[in-house]
Structure 1
Amino acid sequence: MKDLDPVTLATPFFILAIILEIVLARLGRAKANYEPKDTLVSLAMGLGSTVAGLATAGVVFAASLWVYQHRLFDIPMSAAWAWLAVFLLEDLTYYWFHRLAHERRFWWASHVNHHTSQHYNLSTALRQTWTGGVAGTWLLWLPLSFIGFPPAMVAIQKGISLVYQFWIHTEAIGRMPRWFEAVFNTPSHHRVHHARNPRYLDRNYAGILIVWDRLFGTFQPELDEEPCRYGVVKNLATFNLLRVAFHEWAAIGRDIVRQPRHAVGWLFGPPGWSPDGSRETSDQIRARWAAARPQITPAAAEATGPTPDARSGSPA
């Protein structure tokens, strides 16, 4: 069981499901928009992410083992309660990782490629980062091993989470039963997450359980009167694989070279931050959206949550 890799085991299912969605869409039996070049970029990003993950796997595993050697408790992999506990704690960790990846530019640079497609289909789920290992987001999971969960147990649960999140990248499924929508992340919830509408920006960070978004104030339901528009605020308008993978890192580099004394802000400020306020931050995007709708008061707009999606280094 220690060698179980849910993602590897599920990969054939991923491919078959994408093919099935394409076929059903062509037959008019499912809602799904595929563009060949866009789909190829997603598949290539997925392959590149796997290769990049292998390149950093040794460091991640070694760090996890070292932390585990200094663990607080001995948690057995054979205990059912331990699997329930790691499920909840890993999912909570994923929520905060995902939120951090949207709210701070350094980690957004690693995550942004997942949001660059202007289509939303199962292939979008495979459009994964090449630079997550370098960005160090894996550090957020080390406390689980420090508590006492074996690194293999944590890795398996992370894989289960990724497998779960595959099926929610689709427009072919409407809404699930109300009780399911209340507890779990669903295609409806995740469509909101991938949308660039001001109302929807940077909402629904959930991995498996949507309850974290409800608890921490980042939940936004999908509204029938406002269809989702996908991509980022300033879309790339290119299928160049290297640009998709590295464009935000390059933008950060240009900003630092131009104004090195503001390097910390360029790196760790929210996406869209600039020292002179010439670019749109999340607050500015929210304020502009609310100002165009007099019936929405600033307080009500703020209550719907943050919208840090001025996602490139340049104005949206």
Structure 2
Amino acid sequence: MNTSTQISLVATSFVVGVSLIEACWLTWKNRRTDTPFQWYEVWLSLVDMIGRKLLAFLPLSLAAPVFAFAWAHRIHTVTLDSVLTLLLLFVGQEFCYYWYHRASHRIRFFWATHAVHHSPNQLTLSSAYRLGWTAKLTGSAVFFTPLVWLGVRPEVVLAVLSLNLLYQFWLHTTWVPKLGWLEYVINTPSSHRVHHASNTAYLDANFGGVLIVFDRLFGTYVEERKEEPCRYGLTTPMTSANPLVVELSQWVYIARDLKSARSLRTALGYLLLPPGWRPDGSGDTTEALRQRAKAGEAVV
């Protein structure tokens, strides 16, 4: 067993073990409330993780040839031999992650995979490792290609991305309060609760990985407010406990819409425009939901 495999095994064991401890604690804590802990959400996340581990053995990746091309035509070869270089790599990776994550919410083709991560109707540590089975097939890693083209080895880019995702594990909690001035700099559980909320006011916000500064810079930061508690899950809640439904339902919806498309423009819209888009304007995009909410408030 090589070193990277050992590290992955230890990290996976830690993540799963801590999430199960939290699940047991939340089960006890919520035993007399109206919102008992839902263990099936944990099992769905575990099935998702196992599925991704198995699919990793298949040589199917749209990003791999893109990375190979970018590396072959790189403009430099980066050596990680200084603190400054490591810092620049960290910031560059965060920048790419922000746009990858934002695109995963705003482009339906990528959302079909990312929606799996947002499908839990309760936010717990186990939600962190429900990431969807089809990421390699959609090639979402191509958003990190600029780093490879600049001269960072592809395996280093993917390793840094893995560290980014590992950091985000602790963000999937409802019991960690706001963290004062840190809310202005790093991604915190409070910021990430907003990201996972399906409240209309909270949609499409807080896309950062470790940092929250790019959200503040590009206008996608939304603060968690006591007067509007987060409601977790998709805008149309996932009610099935069938892993295949959870993993593939968004793709089924896309296939249905593509079948009904009457033009290439409409078909491309179903793939590349935001989730909920309809050619007649009757869809449930974030913008449409907010307009309706605003209209309702005006009537009241």
TM-score (norm 1): 0.86
**1:135-214 equivalences in 2 (<5 Å):** 135-176=138-179, 178-214=180-216
1:265 aligns with 2:254: no
Tell me, in whole angstroms, the C-alpha distance in 2 between the residues paired with 1:142 and 1:3.
25
Tell me what 1:12 maps to.
13
Tell me what 1:25 maps to.
26
Tell me, in whole angstroms, the C-alpha distance in 1 between the residues paired with 2:46 and 2:138.
22
Aligned amino acid, residue 253 of structure 2: A
**1:58-77 equivalences in 2 (<5 Å):** 60-61=63-64, 63-77=66-80
Tell me, in whole angstroms, the C-alpha distance in 2 between the residues paired with 1:84 and 1:52.
32
Residues 113, 131 of structure 2: 8 Å contact kept: no
Deviation at 1:12, TM superposition (A): 1.6
Deviation at 1:152, TM superposition (A): 2.5
**1:39-188 equivalences in 2 (<5 Å):** 39-56=42-59, 60-61=63-64, 63-176=66-179, 178-188=180-190
Residues 237 and 58 of structure 1: is their aligned pair in 2 closer, same or farther, counting only changes over 3 Å? Answer: closer
Tell me, in whole angstroms, the C-alpha distance in 1 between the residues paired with 2:40 and 2:73.
48
**1:236-251 equivalences in 2 (<5 Å):** 236-251=238-253
Tell me, in whole angstroms, the C-alpha distance in 2 between the residues paired with 1:62 and 1:161.
23
Tell me, in whole angstroms, the C-alpha distance in 2 between the residues paired with 1:181 and 1:8.
31
SS in 2 for 1:72: coil
Aligned amino acid, residue 47 of structure 1: I
Q: Deviations over 1:17-61 (max 9, x none)?
A: 1122123324439x9963121211111112212323342477645
Tell me, in whole angstroms, the C-alpha distance in 2 between the residues paired with 1:191 and 1:8.
28
Tell me, in whole angstroms, the C-alpha distance in 2 between the residues paired with 1:287 and 1:205.
22
Tell me, in whole angstroms, the C-alpha distance in 2 between the residues paired with 1:268 and 1:57.
22
Residues 33, 121 of structure 1: 8 Å contact kept: no
Q: Deviations over 1:188-238 (max 9, x none)?
A: 000000001111111101111000100000000100111100111111211
Tell me, in whole angstroms, the C-alpha distance in 2 between the residues paired with 1:206 and 1:220.
12
SS in 2 for 1:118: coil
Deviation at 1:156, TM superposition (A): 1.8
Residues 65 and 284 of structure 1: is their aligned pair in 2 closer, same or farther, counting only changes over 3 Å? Answer: closer
Deviation at 1:280, TM superposition (A): 2.2
1:227 aligns with 2:229: yes
Residues 61, 137 of structure 2: 8 Å contact kept: no
Q: Percent identity?
A: 34
Deviation at 1:99, TM superposition (A): 0.5
TM-score (norm 2): 0.90
Deviation at 1:239, TM superposition (A): 0.9
Residues 98, 209 of structure 2: 8 Å contact kept: yes
Deviation at 1:294, TM superposition (A): 3.6
Query: How many residue pairs end up in the alignment?
Result: 294
Tell me, in whole angstroms, the C-alpha distance in 2 between the residues paired with 1:122 and 1:167.
7
SS in 2 for 1:115: coil
Aligned amino acid, residue 222 of structure 2: Q
Q: CA RMSD in A?
A: 2.5
Tell me, in whole angstroms, the C-alpha distance in 2 between the residues paired with 1:156 and 1:16.
22
SS in 2 for 1:167: helix
SS in 2 for 1:199: helix
Task: For structure 2, list consecutive stretches of 5 or more residues without a partner in the other structure.
Answer: none
Residues 275 and 214 of structure 1: is their aligned pair in 2 closer, same or farther, counting only changes over 3 Å? Answer: same
Deviation at 1:124, TM superposition (A): 0.5
Residues 265 and 294 of structure 1: is their aligned pair in 2 closer, same or farther, counting only changes over 3 Å? Answer: same
Deviation at 1:295, TM superposition (A): 11
Aligned amino acid, residue 108 of structure 1: W
Moved more, 259-268 or 219-228: 259-268
